[in-house]
Amino acid sequence: MKIYVTSVFVDDQQKALDFYTGVLGFTKKNDIPLGAGARWLTLVSPEDPEGTELLLEPDSHPVVGPYKSGLVADGIPAASFQVTDVQAEHERLTGLGVTFTQQPFAAGPVTTAVFDDTCGNLIQIVTPA
């Protein structure tokens, strides 16, 4: 068994697509209209185009708002993405205007940082030691 698709709830799929592709560097894999303005909108890492897909899922379900708000209020990331060098990625993203809620921080076998994805989520980047 392996992970095929995982998701992050977003408040605006187009805004999320622009951020996740234009700023973070993911590649759009699927963009299928589902009606009522929703889309099956998945991204992949350009380093692994056949790998796990990230679904930019609309956050319109009534339980999602309180869930997302609770995570953000407690500083809990909705997702974690591995990068080669957290410090370098922090500098690159900061230069693009990304707001970090946790600066790069060594925590045992990993270095992490957390940023606001502009779509209602905190996202962690991590580099194993």
When pLDDT is cut at 50, 70 and 90, the band that residue 129 belongs to is: confident
Q: What's the CATH number where 20 sits?
A: 3.10.180.10
Tell me the percentage of the chain whose pLDDT exceeds 90. 97
Per the structure, the count of domains in the chain is: 1
For residues 69 and 104, give the distance between their C-alpha atoms in angstroms, rounded to a whole number: 23
Give the Å distances, CA to CA, from 120 to 51, 67, 78, 100: 25, 11, 10, 13
Q: Does the pLDDT of residue 35 top 90, yes or no? A: no
- Among 34, 117, 31, which Cα is nearest to 71's? 117
Q: For position 13, what pLDDT does the model report?
A: 97
Domain that holds residue 67: 5-128
Task: Report residue 6 CA to chain centroid gap.
Answer: 10
pTM of the full structure: 0.94
